[in-house]
Protein backbone atom coordinates (compact mmCIF):
# COMPACT_ATOMS: atom_id res chain seq x y z
CA UNK A 1 0.00 0.00 0.00
CA UNK A 2 1.21 3.47 -0.88
CA UNK A 3 0.93 6.18 1.75
CA UNK A 4 -0.29 8.90 -0.62
CA UNK A 5 -3.39 10.27 1.12
CA UNK A 6 -3.76 12.37 4.22
CA UNK A 7 -6.62 13.89 6.22
CA UNK A 8 -8.25 16.70 4.29
CA UNK A 9 -7.50 15.30 0.82
CA UNK A 10 -10.53 15.59 -1.47
CA UNK A 11 -12.00 13.84 -4.50
CA UNK A 12 -14.99 15.00 -6.51
CA UNK A 13 -17.25 13.58 -9.19
CA UNK A 14 -20.13 15.18 -11.06
CA UNK A 15 -23.03 12.86 -11.87
CA UNK A 16 -26.06 13.62 -14.02
CA UNK A 17 -29.17 11.81 -12.74
CA UNK A 18 -30.16 9.34 -15.46
CA UNK A 19 -33.34 7.24 -15.81
CA UNK A 20 -31.49 4.20 -14.42
CA UNK A 21 -30.62 6.20 -11.27
CA UNK A 22 -34.26 6.79 -10.25
CA UNK A 23 -35.89 5.08 -7.29
CA UNK A 24 -37.39 2.01 -8.92
CA UNK A 25 -38.17 -1.52 -7.82
CA UNK A 26 -38.72 -4.40 -10.22
CA UNK A 27 -38.93 -2.01 -13.15
CA UNK A 28 -41.46 0.39 -11.60
CA UNK A 29 -40.36 3.93 -10.73
CA UNK A 30 -41.72 4.76 -7.29
CA UNK A 31 -40.21 8.24 -7.10
CA UNK A 32 -38.72 10.13 -10.06
CA UNK A 33 -35.69 11.16 -7.99
CA UNK A 34 -32.08 10.03 -7.51
CA UNK A 35 -32.42 6.78 -5.56
CA UNK A 36 -30.59 6.18 -2.31
CA UNK A 37 -28.96 3.07 -3.77
CA UNK A 38 -27.74 5.06 -6.79
CA UNK A 39 -26.32 7.76 -4.53
CA UNK A 40 -24.63 5.06 -2.43
CA UNK A 41 -23.05 3.57 -5.56
CA UNK A 42 -21.74 6.97 -6.63
CA UNK A 43 -20.44 7.83 -3.15
CA UNK A 44 -18.63 4.47 -3.11
CA UNK A 45 -17.08 5.31 -6.48
CA UNK A 46 -16.00 8.77 -5.31
CA UNK A 47 -14.31 7.48 -2.15
CA UNK A 48 -12.84 4.54 -4.05
CA UNK A 49 -10.64 7.02 -5.91
CA UNK A 50 -8.55 7.27 -2.73
CA UNK A 51 -8.21 3.47 -2.62
CA UNK A 52 -7.17 3.35 -6.28
CA UNK A 53 -4.40 5.84 -5.48
CA UNK A 54 -3.30 3.90 -2.40
CA UNK A 55 -3.33 0.25 -3.48
CA UNK A 56 -0.52 -1.56 -5.22
CA UNK A 57 -1.42 -3.66 -8.27
CA UNK A 58 -1.79 -6.78 -6.11
CA UNK A 59 -4.01 -5.12 -3.48
CA UNK A 60 -7.72 -4.40 -3.25
CA UNK A 61 -9.88 -2.38 -0.87
CA UNK A 62 -13.20 -3.26 0.71
CA UNK A 63 -15.84 -0.81 1.88
CA UNK A 64 -17.29 -1.61 5.30
CA UNK A 65 -19.73 1.17 6.17
CA UNK A 66 -21.80 3.86 4.49
CA UNK A 67 -24.32 6.24 6.03
CA UNK A 68 -26.56 8.56 4.01
CA UNK A 69 -28.90 11.26 5.30
CA UNK A 70 -31.06 12.67 2.52
CA UNK A 71 -31.67 16.40 2.83
CA UNK A 72 -33.34 17.09 -0.53
CA UNK A 73 -34.11 15.24 -3.77
CA UNK A 74 -32.22 15.38 -7.05
CA UNK A 75 -34.45 15.11 -10.09
CA UNK A 76 -33.92 13.45 -13.45
CA UNK A 77 -31.27 15.25 -15.55
CA UNK A 78 -30.00 17.31 -12.61
CA UNK A 79 -26.29 17.29 -11.84
CA UNK A 80 -25.11 16.12 -8.45
CA UNK A 81 -21.63 16.99 -7.22
CA UNK A 82 -20.25 14.45 -4.79
CA UNK A 83 -17.23 15.59 -2.80
CA UNK A 84 -15.45 13.17 -0.49
CA UNK A 85 -12.63 13.91 1.90
CA UNK A 86 -10.28 11.87 4.03
CA UNK A 87 -11.01 12.19 7.73
CA UNK A 88 -8.62 9.56 9.08
CA UNK A 89 -6.12 6.99 7.88
CA UNK A 90 -5.37 4.40 10.57
CA UNK A 91 -3.04 1.67 9.28
CA UNK A 92 -5.17 0.08 6.55
CA UNK A 93 -8.47 1.73 7.58
CA UNK A 94 -9.50 4.79 5.57
CA UNK A 95 -12.37 6.90 6.94
CA UNK A 96 -13.98 9.40 4.60
CA UNK A 97 -16.86 11.81 4.76
CA UNK A 98 -18.84 13.10 1.81
CA UNK A 99 -21.31 15.70 0.69
CA UNK A 100 -23.64 15.52 -2.31
CA UNK A 101 -25.10 18.75 -3.68
CA UNK A 102 -27.21 19.62 -6.69
Decide if pLDDT at 87 tops 90: yes
Task: Look at residue 36 and give its three-state secondary structure.
Answer: helix
Over its C-alpha atoms, the chain yields an Rg (Å, rounded) of 15
The residue ranking higher by pLDDT, 21 or 2, is 21
Host domain of residue 62: 10-101
C-alpha distances out from residue 59 to 17, 51, 66, 80, 97, Å = 32, 10, 21, 30, 23
Alpha helices in the chain (DSSP H): 36-54
Residue 57: give its domain's CATH number: 3.10.129.10
Residue 41's pLDDT band (boundaries 50, 70, 90)? Answer: very high
The per-residue pLDDT for 58 is: 84
CA distance 102 to 93: 30
The per-residue pLDDT for 82 is: 98
Q: How many CB atoms lie within 10 A of CB 26?
A: 5
Bridge partners (DSSP) of residue 82 are: 13, 100
The per-residue pLDDT for 50 is: 94
| Residue 87 maps to a domain | yes
| Residue 2 maps to a domain | no
Report, as an integer, the average pLDDT of 61-76: 90
- Percentage with pLDDT > 70 across the chain: 100
Residue 26's pLDDT band (boundaries 50, 70, 90)? Answer: very high
Q: Whole-model pTM?
A: 0.90
Amino acid sequence: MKNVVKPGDRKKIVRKVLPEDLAAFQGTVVHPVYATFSLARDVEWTTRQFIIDMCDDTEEGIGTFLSIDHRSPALLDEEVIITAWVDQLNDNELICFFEAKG
